């Protein structure tokens, strides 16, 4: 883990724990090894109305993936081991892993319980040295926590994450600056952060081509993309070329408190939905009434599992339950009026200042 006096080169490492929740369960229960493991909800409880949180690679062979309805996962692989989410354990392991990772850089940006960006700039002088750092980090994490992880290294956060995806599972991948544009050219446009299904459909329409690759979208000028997508369009212009200007930032752990409710049956019964929502707001307020908050979010999942959020921000302060309800109910009603779909789940959370 030595330092280098060579000219500084922007080098970013991305670490992502392999199938994190399920891998921890395998570690805690060695008898699960080699069997399909699904972490999420009990498929028999509430007639399987939860979703898959994480699953191991054995389960993925059956077509199971994160976010899938637990009932669907059960149909695909009824012999799988279905486990509840043990968030307290996962958070404890996450802290231990990132205490190790923190030693590899003075600047680390945690983006979730199982992944982070580490700025190696100045610490290493070449990608060869960066590979050694990555291999050392993987080795120490495995020795200390008996868990595998994947690592990607490149010139910026986006390319490091892409490299990490290519390294999975249990591997390391380096993408040097000269390799960046060529590496992503044949990937789908949705590989670029911020380009989802709707944006892809718009690009398809403009290109008159189904499932366009990144190289196809390079025909758009910066001004065209800005006209299409506003400020995001300019960001897309650079990211399509492997350029990401976002810095690695040490962020305080996002603090929010929230609750969700999954209905036993998908529903359009506004009276019942509002009654449940009011209770959620009350439950959350009871936990935060002594804290300053500066924003709230309302979550809605429709019958087809399409999930949307609406949020608002306001000056930090202590607010009454009535204030939070008045601010949030209008957002919930938009979900009811903007779509005729039945609602499967609603949620409410506040952001702690």
For the stretch 117-131, pLDDT in tens is 999 998 898 999 999
**Whole-number Å distance between alpha carbons of 201 and 240:** 16
CATH number of 1-180: 3.30.70.270
φ, ψ dihedrals at 309, nearest 5°: -130, 150
Task: Provide the edge-to-edge strand list for the sheet that holds 293-302.
Answer: 256-267, 343-352, 293-302, 307-317
Residues 6+ apart with CB under 8 A from 102: 108
Tell me what the mean pLDDT of segment 84-100 comes to.
95
Angle at 110 between CA 104 and CA 111, to 5 degrees: 145
pLDDT tens for 32-87 read: 999 999 999 778 765 566 889 999 999 999 999 998 889 899 999 999 999 999 99
Please list, in sequence order, all residues whose beta carbon lies within 8 angstroms of the beta carbon of residue 229, skipping any fewer than 6 positions away: 199, 236
Beta carbons within 10 angstroms of residue 189's beta carbon: 21
Looking up tokens 């399987």, which residue turns up? 48
Q: Which residues share a beta bridge with 312?
A: 296
Q: What is the pLDDT of residue 38?
A: 96
Task: Give 180-237 pLDDT, tens digit per residue.
Answer: 999 999 999 999 998 988 899 999 999 999 999 999 999 999 999 999 999 889 999 9
Tell me the two tokens of residue 171.
């591997």
How confident is the prediction for the chain on average, in pLDDT?
Answer: 92
Taking Cα atoms as reference points, which of 323, 254, 310 lies closest to residue 284? 323
Q: What is the pLDDT of residue 51?
A: 86
**What would the CATH number be for the domain defined by 186-239?**
1.10.150
pLDDT of residue 197: 87
3-state secondary structure of 260: strand
Report whether pLDDT(2) > 70.
no
Looking at residue 81, its pLDDT comes to: 96
Q: Cβ–Cβ contacts within 10 Å for residue 168, how many?
A: 17
Per DSSP, the residues of 100-138 read HHHTT-S-EEEEETTEEEEE-BTTBSSHHHHHHHHHHHH
Q: Is 115 a catalytic residue?
A: yes
Contact 62, 24 (CB under 8 A): no
Task: Extract the tokens encoding 235.
Answer: 């960001």
Cβ 345 vs Cβ 299: under 8 Å? yes
pTM of structure: 0.75
116 vs 14, 100, 157, 322, CA distance in Å?
A: 6, 12, 10, 38
Q: Which residue has the tokens 């709230």?
A: 296
Cis status, amide bond into 299, omega within 30 of 0 = no
Question: What pLDDT score does 4 carry?
Answer: 45
DSSP H or E run through 299: strand 293-302
Catalytic residue chosen out of the listed positions 25, 26, 58, 115: 115
Query: Is residue 101 within 8 Å of residue 113, measured between CB atoms?
Result: no
Write down the CATH superfamily of domain 256-352.
Answer: DNA polymerase, Y-family, little finger domain (3.30.1490.100)
State the pLDDT confidence band at 9, using cuts at 50, 70 and 90: confident
What are the extents of the domains in the chain? 1-180, 186-239, 256-352
Answer whether 301's CB lies under 8 Å from 271's CB: no
């Amino acid at each position: 883990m030595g330092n280098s006096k060579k000219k500084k080169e922007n080098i970013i490492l991305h670490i992502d724990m392999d199938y994190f929740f399920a891998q921890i369960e395998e570690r805690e229960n060695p008898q699960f090894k080699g069997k399909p493991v699904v972490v999420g909800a009990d498929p028999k409880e509430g007639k399987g109305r939860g979703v898959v949180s994480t699953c191991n690679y054995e389960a993925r062979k059956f077509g199971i993936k994160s976010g899938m309805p637990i009932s669907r996962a059960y149909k695909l692989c009824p012999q799988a081991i279905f486990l509840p989410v043990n968030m307290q354990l996962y958070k404890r392991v996450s802290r231990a892993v990132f205490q190790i990772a923190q030693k590899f850089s003075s600047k680390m940006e945690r983006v979730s319980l199982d992944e982070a960006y580490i700025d190696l700039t100045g610490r290493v002088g070449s990608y060869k040295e960066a590979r050694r750092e990555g291999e050392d980090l993987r080795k120490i994490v495995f020795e200390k926590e008996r868990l595998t992880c994947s690592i990607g290294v490149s010139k910026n956060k986006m390319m490091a994450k892409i490299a990490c995806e290519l390294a999975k599972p249990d591997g390391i991948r380096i993408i040097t600056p000269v390799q960046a544009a060529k590496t992503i050219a044949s990937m789908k446009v949705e590989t670029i952060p911020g380009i989802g299904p709707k944006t892809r459909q718009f690009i398809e329409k403009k290109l008159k081509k189904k499932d366009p690759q990144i190289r196809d979208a390079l025909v758009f000028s910066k001004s065209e993309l800005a006209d299409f997508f506003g400020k995001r369009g300019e960001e897309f212009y650079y990211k399509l070329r492997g350029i990401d200007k976002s810095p690695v930032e040490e962020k305080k752990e996002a603090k929010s408190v929230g609750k969700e409710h999954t209905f036993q049956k998908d529903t359009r019964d506004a009276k019942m939905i509002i009654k449940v929502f009011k209770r959620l707001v009350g439950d959350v307020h009871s936990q935060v009434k002594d804290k300053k908050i500066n924003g709230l979010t309302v979550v809605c999942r429709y019958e087809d599992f399409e999930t949307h959020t609406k949020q608002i921000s306001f000056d930090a302060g202590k607010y009454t339950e009535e204030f939070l309800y008045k601010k949030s109910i209008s957002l919930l009603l938009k979900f009811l009026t903007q779509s005729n779909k039945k609602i499967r789940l609603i949620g409410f959370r506040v952001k702690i200042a």
